[in-house]
A and B are shown apart, each in its own frame.
Chain A
Amino acid sequence: MGPLVPDLISQNLNYILALFIGIAFGAILEQAGFSSSRRLVGLFYGYDFTVLRVFFTAGIVAMVGVMALEHFGLLDMNLVYINPTFLWSAIIGGVIMGLGFVVGGYCPGTSFCAAAIGKLDALALIGGALVGVLIFAEGYPLFEGLYKAAYLGSPRISQTLGVSPNLFAFAMVLFALVAFGVASLVERKVNGKSVQPLRWTPSRVGLVAAGIVLALSAFSFTDRKAELLQLAQDERLVRSYPVEAMSVDEFAFRLMDEEDDRIQVIDFRPEAEAAQERLPKSYAFTVDNLFEQEPSRLLRLKGKINLFVANDELTERRMAVIAHELGFRRIQILEGGLNAFREQILRFQPSRPPQGMMEEFTYRFRSKAKRVIPELIRQNKSSAPVKKEKKRVLGGC
């Protein structure tokens, strides 16, 4: 699951990757014509809309791509850098940059690109930008109030507007298509060319149709998480799903055995309840944790048995089904759930004198467990729940 940094790709390798990503970035910008200031600002005077086309196409491709990766559970957006929202400084900073664009003719990225092929005006702009940052840095006490005002966290636009991300993306695609069409009309008019009517060639009709099908499909597929949660609601399927179950006696034995470090108890009870009775070798977990990159790493530890516990066995089974479908292995559940465990071990009351060897052993074992385990729960110092610490990637400019 992405992002691959910092788990699969080390920080140092990341710097090397940055170099190669930059090379591709620079080459694409240059090939697109972003190394020419007159071409860039053409957008604002109506004679060249290259920037609009490249920028919005790129934005939409990346946006839809991110949505798709998220949809199929391939990218954990909790770890991806989402630009924070400081309302006023975002807008005012944007307007200042817009002014800088029509005065200077480049934006910072394109200025590096243009400077690399010998544009002296781009070099002047880079120089100015260095001075601009210096002015900001030295005048920071002046700017700080505005810079930090109206902090709204790092919301995504769909949350801010209260619409589904799919709908927003769909609207953006529509907006871009209309903008592309209008841009072509304006461009031809400003440059004094005759406006050609749009011809519906088979290939264009095919492209549009494919686009519409793709867009509609986004609404009809539920995402992986919703699908699995749905699956876990199907009681018959959950009951017939093959999951290994551990008896309450084995569970009690493993809890008491200090040498046994193979078992890790994954506690799915509500956190408040789990906090009151923190089992040894246990980690508080939620169904959401299963879908998150950081907490779910716990379940991938080699050689460990993941024992899913909850009050009732059905909940344990549901979680086990989801986990199994997500590709986690070595999962067991506690037979009868913690309810049975409490009933038969913690509140063990022999109803009749033991008969035969087996019952005699069970009797003795459970009596001992009844004494020892509550003590272990009291002493349990590994009581910290799974930390949902989000090591968000540091990004932005």
Chain B
Amino acid sequence: MNETRYMNPYLAGVLLGLLLLVTIYITGRGLGASGAIKSFTVAGVEAVAPRHAQSAKFYREYAAEHPAGGPLKNWLVFEIVGVLIGAFLSGLVAGRLKLVTEKGPRIASRTRLIAAFIGGILWGIGSQLGRGCTSGAALSGMAVMATGGILTMLGIFAGAYAFAYFFRKLWI
């Protein structure tokens, strides 16, 4: 399969912006991702340790905030399933479907996978504190000019640039 080139970034940006705008106009909320991860985690805990999920405070607060139909009946869960489908179709069309571990030139695949896992843990904790990730807090927050979202966005970029030097071996 021949890989096709990526879309012009400005064109992609305009399309993404319009999609976000339509989403806000129709649903009154922005895009997101980490909320779905939270839903999966809560659903997992409810399945494995239902008694614990009923007693621990985090899950009780979650249940109070999301009254309807359990953690998986959530807008972001549906959206993320869509993301998986959309990205898969895009990759299929562009000839980019391939099982691979993407890594910097100076590290082994195993190092990359461990780093990705640790990075994921940081995202999990950070997105809970920040009440959203790059999509839900930074991008959607910027679209509606929410102070909280813009602060989180600044935090993400500042943090990434501040720590980039120390992890350069992973990438270059």
Residues of chain A whose beta carbon lies under 8 Å from any beta carbon of chain B: 2-5, 9, 11, 14-33, 35-38, 41, 43-45, 47, 50, 53-63, 65-66, 69, 74-75, 77, 79-87, 89-122, 124-138, 140-141, 143-144, 146-147, 152, 154-160, 165, 168-169, 172, 392-397
Question: Are A94 and B153 touching (Cβ within 8 A)?
Answer: yes
A102 to B22, CA, bound (A): 31
Across the interface, which residues of A come within 8 angstroms of B6, CB to CB?
Answer: 31-33, 50
Which residue of chain A has its CB nearest to the CB of B78? A18
Not counting A107-B123, A395-B30, a sample of 17 additional A-B residue pairs whose C-beta atoms are within 8 angstroms of each other reads A4-B26, A45-B171, A61-B20, A80-B28, A81-B29, A89-B131, A94-B130, A96-B126, A119-B102, A129-B124, A130-B37, A134-B45, A136-B124, A136-B129, A146-B129, A393-B28, A394-B66
Question: Chain B's interface: helix, strand, loop or mixed, by majority?
Answer: helix
**Contact with A112, one of B14, B33, B134, B145 (Cβ below 8 angstroms):** B33
Question: Are A90 and B143 touching (Cβ within 8 A)?
Answer: no
Across the interface, which residues of B come within 8 angstroms of A85, CB to CB?
Answer: 146-148, 151
Question: Are B82 and A22 touching (Cβ within 8 A)?
Answer: yes
Question: Are A87 and B45 touching (Cβ within 8 A)?
Answer: no
Tell whether A137 pairs with B19 under 8 Å between CB atoms, given A3-B25, A27-B90, A397-B35.
no
**Contact with B27, one of A3, A101, A112, A144 (Cβ below 8 angstroms):** A3
Q: Could you tell me which residues of chain B, from 52 to 79, have a CB within 8 Å of some CB in chain A?
A: 56-59, 65-66, 68, 73, 75-76, 78-79
Question: Are B24 and A154 touching (Cβ within 8 A)?
Answer: no
Question: Are A97 and B133 touching (Cβ within 8 A)?
Answer: yes
Question: Chain A's interface: helix, strand, loop or mixed, by majority?
Answer: helix
Which residue of chain A has its CB nearest to the CB of B20? A62
**Contact with A83, one of B40, B118, B124, B146 (Cβ below 8 angstroms):** B146
Question: Are A62 and B21 touching (Cβ within 8 A)?
Answer: yes
B120 close to chain A: CB less than 8 A:
yes
**Contact with A21, one of B10, B82, B97, B113 (Cβ below 8 angstroms):** B82
Tell whether A157 pairs with B161 under 8 Å between CB atoms, given A19-B79, A66-B21.
no
Q: Could you tell me which residues of chain B, from 75 to 91, have a CB within 8 Å of some CB in chain A?
A: 75-76, 78-91
**Contact with A137, one of B23, B56, B79, B142 (Cβ below 8 angstroms):** B56
A5 to B164, CA, bound (A): 41
Tell whether A80 pairs with B33 under 8 Å between CB atoms, given A14-B75, A141-B57, A394-B65.
no
Tell whether A89 pairs with B117 under 8 Å between CB atoms, given A21-B19, A36-B102, A58-B14.
no
Across the interface, which residues of A come within 8 angstroms of B59, CB to CB?
Answer: 137
Across the interface, which residues of B come within 8 angstroms of A29, CB to CB?
Answer: 16, 83, 86-87
Question: Are A122 and B129 touching (Cβ within 8 A)?
Answer: no
Q: Could you tell me which residues of chain B, from 103 to 153, have a CB within 8 Å of some CB in chain A?
A: 103-104, 112-153
B50 close to chain A: CB less than 8 A:
no
Question: Are B158 and A95 touching (Cβ within 8 A)?
Answer: yes
Question: Are A156 and B84 touching (Cβ within 8 A)?
Answer: no
A79 to B28, CA, bound (A): 7
**Contact with A117, one of B17, B19, B96 (Cβ below 8 angstroms):** B96
CB distance from A201 to the nearest CB of B (A): 16
Tell whether A59 pairs with B30 under 8 Å between CB atoms, given A96-B125, A128-B116, A130-B44.
no
Question: Are A129 and B37 touching (Cβ within 8 A)?
Answer: yes
